[in-house]
Amino acid sequence: MKMLYKKSVELSLNFMVILIISIVLFGFGIKFISDLSSSAKDITDMTTEELDEQISSLICEGSDRVCIGQDRRTIKRGDFGVFGLKIMNVLDSRSFDVTITPADPIGYKKDKTPISPPSPLLTINPSSRSINIEKNEERSLGIGIQVPPNAVSGTYILDIDILNGGNTYSKQKFYVDVP
């Protein structure tokens, strides 16, 4: 009888240990999934300040009023990348309007034929913004580009127009290669 009681206590203790280990492993699994899903961030949720923080410092030549750290970037379907743009104001304090739009044509396929609508367009965040820059100061901007999952392979071209007071301050281009 005593032997039977001892075996039943051991079996109960083994069951409790396995139950505790299972609960701990289940908790770690939930934490892992939660961390994974919360770290995924869509480009539409990003603020312009977060984009500006993601760009590295851009090196401009002394006479450049506008420079781009990297004007060509490869971005896979469904991913997004950040381009950096630095504006130096050599004039009096003023407001600059920065607008990014798809070029015409919007790009070229790998066989050098134009990409034409209804091909999905890249999502640009922000596609336009106004900033005020004091005289002889510079401002770095981050521009996020989201490539849709069904984008056509090729090179997409984006026009960057920087205006001050309605006058063209600079025109630049970004190139997004979609493999």
In a shared domain, residues 36 and 47: no
Tens digit of each residue's pLDDT, the chain (179 residues): 566 677 778 888 888 999 999 999 999 988 888 776 665 555 556 666 666 655 545 556 555 677 777 788 899 988 878 888 888 887 788 888 999 888 888 899 989 899 877 777 888 887 888 888 888 888 888 888 889 888 888 999 999 998 887 788 888 888 999 99
Q: Comparing C-alpha atoms, which of 128, 123, 21, 13 is closest to residue 79?
A: 123
Helix (H) or strand (E) holding 19: helix 2-39
- Residue 148 contacts residue 120 (beta carbons within 8 Å): yes
In a shared domain, residues 26 and 80: no
In a shared domain, residues 7 and 60: no
In a shared domain, residues 29 and 111: no
What is the reported pLDDT for 56?
A: 46
- Cα–Cα distances in angstroms (integers) from residue 179 to residues 71, 101, 113, 125, 126, in the given order: 17, 21, 15, 21, 24
Amino acid at 125: N
In a shared domain, residues 23 and 83: no
In a shared domain, residues 34 and 65: no
Which CATH number covers residue 168?
A: 2.60.40.2310
In a shared domain, residues 68 and 150: yes
In a shared domain, residues 35 and 55: no
In a shared domain, residues 36 and 60: no
Number of structural domains found in the chain: 2
Query: 2: domain range?
Result: 1-40
Give the count of beta carbons closer than 10 Å to the beta carbon of residue 38. 8
pTM (predicted TM-score): 0.65
In a shared domain, residues 74 and 144: yes
In a shared domain, residues 26 and 53: no
